[in-house]
Amino acid sequence: MSERIAFDADNYARRVRRGPCFICALASGDAEYRLANVMIYEDQDVLVFLNRYPTLLGYTLVCPRRHVERVVGDFAEDEYFQLQRWVYRVGRAIEQVIETERLYVLSLGSQQGNRHVHWHLAPLPPGVAYEDQQLAAVSMNRGILRLEPHEARNLADQIRERLLDEPS
């Protein structure tokens, strides 16, 4: 398991509340955001990338490329189901790469910051004590995993390989 490091929640809150939409910045190719995030897959509709602040190894985000803020209200039904197909496929790929006791799938965010809808796919490894599971497992208050850039790229490559092997 990777080393845990402290997470600067105050700085993070300032950035997401005052800065640009990080998903839109990624979608538009903003160099700063592209350097800070490790992409797994993208096309005209979806972005898939490793969580920049992971609490679990393999923690991945799945996002619509276009800016939407309501998790169901801003989607046509077929568009929503297509995005959920990506959540499913990415989850399957993660489980093939990371030993997973339970895959957590959440849509988090706030109208005060991180407004762009996105799904968190967080693989809980086997053997985690019950009190460290569920919301505790995804809480950045306990610190985040420190992954070296080459480790993150290798992990993304492995997930991408499995994702692209999955039938659509």
Instruction: Say what the pLDDT of residue 2 is.
Output: 72
Query: CATH topology for 4-165?
Result: HIT family, subunit A (3.30.428)
Q: What is the DSSP letter of 26?
A: H
- As given in the structure block, the two tokens for residue 136 are 């505790």
CA dist 128 and 131 (Å) reads 8
Three-state SS at 4: strand
Distances, alpha carbon 74 to alpha carbons 25, 64, 70, in Å: 20, 11, 5
CA dist 76 and 81 (Å) reads 9
CA dist 129 and 92 (Å) reads 24
Q: Splitting the chain (168 residues) into consecutive groups of 10 residues, what average pLDDT does each group show?
A: 87 91 96 96 98 97 97 95 97 98 95 94 97 96 95 98 84
For the chain, what are the domain ranges? Answer: 4-165
Count the Cβ atoms, other than its own, within 10 Å of residue 13.
14
